[in-house]
Structure 1
Amino acid sequence: IGYLIFTLRISSDAKIVVLDIPKEVAENLLRKYYLGQDLKISSEAVVLRRESELIAAIQNTPYSIGAFSLAYAISHKLPVNHLSLNGVEPSLENIKNNKYPMVIPIGITIKKTPAKSVKEFVNYAMSQAGKEELAKHNFVVFTQKK
């Protein structure tokens, strides 16, 4: 239900400021789709502690690039560019249609015999009302049954 995107504020002759957070999943996606497996992250990259710090920094740092949740960017109408991948825009529609591949699934894992409150939460999250609530916050909901 969640995924990351690149956002960028740049001009053709500016030095790019790389903003990052210590998150292995994001780095693996960046390497797979943009940077290549062997490309090293610059020692000049600004590493922030939290995604919220990265979001604030990318909005206030000209000529910067970073990655964070598209759902957050859309729901908060952030003034950032969403970079396309192989000509495919990271839109909710392209995510739903499996056209934009840089997706991080977010799932729920529970014990075989969960507490009543956990079971109620999962039932709500998987219900039509739960899916509609997630969609209100610009998450794309995919249901995978095991």
Structure 2
Amino acid sequence: MKKFISFALIAAMAVTTLVGCGNKGAKADGGSSDAAITVMSREDGSGTRGAFIELFGIEEEENGEKVDKTTDEASITNSTSVMMSSVANDANAIGYISLGSLNDTVKAVKIDGAEASVDNVKNGSYKVVRPFNIVLGKKTSDAANDFVNYIMSADGQKIIEDNGYIPVDEGASAYQASNAKGKVVVGGSSSVSPVMEKLVEAYSKANTNIQVDVQTTDSTTGVSSTVEGSYDIGMASRDLKDDETAQGVEGKTIAKDGIAVIVNNESSVDELSTDQVKSIFTGETTSWSDITK
């Protein structure tokens, strides 16, 4: 049975660490000896999970249907921040996050010999890459269109690059504000939301006539809420599915992002192959000794 880890639980774990008792990471073997691997995955509906299982072959086709083969022993986290905190607090853990969200609280392992970096995503040597999409409905307000124009402008694409993501239009023109006014609600992927918040911060200075609010949920909610009309613009860290576009929405890629496979900073593991990652997340490999020997 999958274990669900929420932000509240991570906060409790942090308190436990501060008082110096029960810290799982302090007692673990750091990815060595016979320590059991703690597999951390994202929740159903996460675009990062959807892209991850596809890129590593964890999603397999059975009877014409795609089936997620992530092990039932995986602990489920509901956001990028919770995933990072979970791995940082367990020396035997492995998980995955947006490359653009990577910081020094965890360690990204090389995949098939390639370091997880923006440069390696650009040159093609790091192949665990997915799109950051915004989701647009059949009718988009003038205010929402103005914000989209900002994202795709030279100004917006520079913010994307400055925050560790890969822009999709390096030849874009400078932003020119329209006469639109109003409020725009953007919601969806917790992987896209950090860079979206940076875009909103800069946009609020470039156009004071439009207010943009960002709501962080997940990619599937980003799509469905755009279909329903509660979001003016959705966020999805994966390609849209056929049954989603059939409902009248379309995806527009605003950036590309790598997916970093992460372990605890104490881990002795620095590199994994694609096959090893698949074996760990499907539950075939359960001990770090099977990786390090």
- TM-score of the superposed pair, with normalisation by structure 1: 0.75
User: Could you say which residue in structure 2 is the equivalent of 1:26?
Assistant: 49
Partner of 1:114, secondary structure, is coil
How do residues 1-146 of structure 1 correspond to structure 2 at under 5 angstroms? 10-13=30-33, 14-22=35-43, 23=46, 26-27=49-50, 29-30=52-53, 32-33=55-56, 37=60, 40-73=69-102, 77-111=103-137, 114-143=140-169
Deviates more, 1:62-71 or 1:32-41: 32-41
Q: Deviations over 1:27-59 (max 9, x none)?
A: 552454275849943322111233321121111
Q: Percent identity?
A: 24
In the aligned structure 2, how far is the partner of 1:142 from the partner of 1:31? 22
Q: Deviations over 1:70-127 (max 9, x none)?
A: 1011xxx333221222211111001112221111201234346531111111111111
Gaps of 5+ in 2: 1-28, 62-67, 170-251, 254-293
Q: Is the 8 A contact 1:10 1:16 kept in 2?
A: no
Q: What amino acid is the match of 1:45?
A: A
In the aligned structure 2, how far is the partner of 1:86 from the partner of 1:62? 22
Asked which structure has the greater RCO (Cα within 8 Å, sep 6+), the reply is 1
> Could you say which structure has the larger radius of gyration?
2
Q: State the 1:11 CA deviation.
A: 2.2
Q: State the 1:134 CA deviation.
A: 1.1
In the aligned structure 2, how far is the partner of 1:62 from the partner of 1:87? 22
Q: Is the 8 A contact 1:20 1:45 kept in 2?
A: yes
In the aligned structure 1, how far is the partner of 2:51 from the partner of 2:155? 33
Q: Is the 8 A contact 2:41 2:49 kept in 1?
A: no
Partner of 1:107, secondary structure, is strand
Partner of 1:117, secondary structure, is helix
Q: What amino acid is the match of 1:21?
A: R
Q: What amino acid is the match of 1:33?
A: F
In the aligned structure 1, how far is the partner of 2:132 from the partner of 2:154? 18
RMSD, aligned α-carbons: 2.8
Give the 3 Å change call, closer, same or farther, for CA 31–124 of structure 1 in structure 2. closer
